């Protein structure tokens, strides 16, 4: 089969011929139709410090996918050949306290497909049946292929009650933009999304016209708060950029007793004005991955109930055009890039 592999510990990925994976008794074999390129894959392409310390080579990369089950392990029940599916790319153990409490996404032994073990940028993927998420007929493959990052957005956005709240999102990458769409769908009153990259803000306006996209390089958040007529500021913040300035701006723009969910990953140690956070009585929650499988349930339900994130996909390419896809991702100007593995 064709597979996109980190074959050697240096920049780039290479399309190689690899054996079709053999499945264990508790796994299924999925024919991959569509995949999404993630920021994680760009780190692996670039072979930065994180990638060099995390990813063994050779490694078939990729973890965002949609496809169809073509083979079923002998211990698997409840799935059928021909079933369209996406799936959770975090492989978990069952023995930790967290897993035995049903909090699978908090299992400390989590391994990621395409990072720690063979991934989805290939014509076939072996996956534990536990991780399979069947796709309803009304969710197309290209949306199935971005459920992983949409799940990050949903997990973050639904960390706190948003009904009637004023929400600030810092970082207008694809996940921030999808979080804005989710916040609107979940009943937030005002949704403001900030960035300093005008191209990303334009995409945010295109995908979520009912959110206000603000370039904080040219506009002050306190002026936005005044224009919106908010008496104190935002009730809930969703930090999606990893930028320390963005977090500082968020703390400043929040109401007393405000809440922050953090998905963005700061580089290294990042100084934080903790006294400001204490005196404003702010609650902070770190968010990792997607809740298994409540996040998946909620996002599929929302997609079936009118949540539309399709315009966040800006590039649809054949898998053979992966170099152009990665170039678009590395430019910092793209939305989601999806690759088609059929044909």
DSSP-derived pairing of the beta strands 2-6 and 14-17: antiparallel
Give the CA distances from residue 195 to residues 138, 218, 220, 308, in Å, rounded to whole numbers and listed in that order. 33, 10, 12, 22
Question: How many residues touch Zn ion (CB under 5 A)?
Answer: 2
Give me the helix-helix angle, 322-330 and 39-46, nearest 10°. Answer: 100
Binding mask 90-129 for Zn ion (x = CB under 5 A): ----------------------------------------
| Contact flag: residue 37 with Zn ion (CB under 5 A) | no
Binding mask 143-172 for Zn ion (x = CB under 5 A): -----x------------------------
Residue 331, token pair as written in the block: 């430019």
| Interface stretch with Zn ion, choices 35-43, 72-80, 325-333, 334-342 (CB under 5 A) | 35-43
Q: In the complex with Zn ion, which residue's Cβ is closer, 38 or 238?
A: 38
Task: For the CB of residue 75, give the shortest distance to Zn ion in the complex, in Å.
Answer: 28
Q: In the complex with Zn ion, which residue's Cβ is closer, 224 or 313?
A: 313
Which residue's Cβ lies closest to Zn ion? 38
Task: For the CB of residue 62, give the shortest distance to Zn ion in the complex, in Å.
Answer: 9
Query: Is residue 341 a contact partner of residue 34, using CB atoms and an 8 Å limit?
Result: yes
Q: In the complex with Zn ion, which residue's Cβ is closer, 67 or 258?
A: 67
Task: For the CB of residue 89, give the shortest distance to Zn ion in the complex, in Å.
Answer: 7
| Interface stretch with Zn ion, choices 33-41, 124-132, 233-241, 272-280 (CB under 5 A) | 33-41
DSSP state of 330: H
Q: Does the annotation mark 43 as catalytic?
A: yes
For 28-58, b where at least 16 C-beta lie within 10 A, e where not — what string? bbbbbbbbbbbebbbbbbebeeebeeebeee
Task: For the CB of residue 64, give the shortest distance to Zn ion in the complex, in Å.
Answer: 5
Query: Which of the following is catalytic: 43, 206, 314, 315?
Result: 43
Task: For the CB of residue 337, give the shortest distance to Zn ion in the complex, in Å.
Answer: 12
Q: In the complex with Zn ion, which residue's Cβ is closer, 38 or 251?
A: 38
Count of residues for the chain? 343
Query: Is residue 324 a contact partner of residue 106, using CB atoms and an 8 Å limit?
Result: no
Q: In the complex with Zn ion, which residue's Cβ is closer, 87 or 233?
A: 87
DSSP state of 22: P
Q: In the complex with Zn ion, which residue's Cβ is closer, 174 or 233?
A: 174
Q: For residue 115, how many other CB atoms are within 10 A of its CB?
A: 22
Query: Sign of the C-alpha dihedral, residues 309, 88, 299, 197?
Result: negative
Task: For the CB of residue 152, give the shortest distance to Zn ion in the complex, in Å.
Answer: 7
Query: Which of the following is catalytic: 34, 40, 110, 170?
Result: 40
Task: For the CB of residue 148, give the shortest distance to Zn ion in the complex, in Å.
Answer: 5
For 212-242, b where at least 16 C-beta lie within 10 A, e where not — what string? bbbebeeeebeebbeeeebeebbbbbbbbbb
| Interface stretch with Zn ion, choices 45-53, 94-102, 142-150, 195-203 (CB under 5 A) | 142-150
Residue 260 exposed, middle or buried by CB count within 10 Å (0-12, 13-18, 19+): buried
Q: Which of 38, 92, 120, 168 forms a contact with Zn ion (CB under 5 A)? A: 38
Q: In the complex with Zn ion, which residue's Cβ is closer, 42 or 277?
A: 42
Cβ neighbours for 291, distance < 8 A, ≥ 6 positions apart:
103, 104, 105, 155
Q: Does the annotation mark 40 as catalytic?
A: yes
Where along the sequence are the contacts to Zn ion (CB under 5 A)?
38, 148
| Catalytic residue positions, numbered | 40, 43
């Amino acid at each position: 089969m064709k597979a996109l592999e980190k074959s050697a510990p240096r920049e780039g990925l290479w399309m190689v011929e690899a054996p079709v994976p053999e499945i264990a008794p508790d796994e299924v074999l999925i024919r991959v139709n569509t995949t999404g390129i993630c920021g994680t894959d760009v780190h692996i392409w670039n072979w930065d410090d994180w990638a060099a310390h995390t990813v063994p080579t050779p490694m078939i990369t990729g973890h965002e996918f949609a496809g169809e089950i073509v083979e079923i392990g002998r211990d698997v029940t409840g799935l059928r050949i021909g079933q369209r599916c996406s799936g959770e790319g975090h492989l978990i153990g069952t023995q930790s306290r967290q897993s035995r409490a049903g909090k699978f996404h908090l299992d400390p032994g989590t391994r990621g497909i395409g990072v720690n073990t063979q991934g989805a940028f290939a014509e076939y993927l072996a996956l534990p049946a536990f991780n399979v998420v069947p796709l309803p007929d009304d969710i197309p493959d290209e949306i199935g292929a971005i459920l992983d990052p949409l799940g990050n957005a949903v997990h973050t956005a639904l960390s706190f009650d948003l009904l009637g709240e004023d929400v600030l999102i810092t970082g207008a990458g694809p996940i921030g933009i999808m979080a804005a769409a989710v916040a609107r769908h979940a009943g937030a009153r005002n949704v403001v999304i900030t960035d300093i990259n005008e191209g990303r803000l334009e995409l945010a306006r295109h995908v979520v016209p009912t959110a206000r996209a603000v370039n904080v390089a040219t506009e002050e958040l306190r002026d936005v708060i005044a224009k919106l007529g908010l008496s104190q500021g935002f009730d809930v913040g969703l930090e999606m950029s990893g930028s320390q300035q963005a977090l500082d701006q968020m703390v400043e723009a929040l109401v007393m007793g405000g809440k922050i969910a953090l998905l963005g990953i700061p580089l290294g140690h990042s100084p934080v004005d903790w006294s400001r956070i204490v005196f404003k009585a702010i609650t902070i929650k770190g968010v990792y991955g997607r809740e298994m499988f409540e996040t998946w349930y909620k996002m599929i339900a929302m997609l079936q109930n009118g949540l539309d994130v399709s315009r966040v996909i800006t590039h649809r390419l054949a898998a053979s055009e992966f170099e152009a896809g990665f170039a678009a991702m590395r430019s910092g100007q793209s939305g989601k890039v999806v690759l088609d593995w059929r044909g």
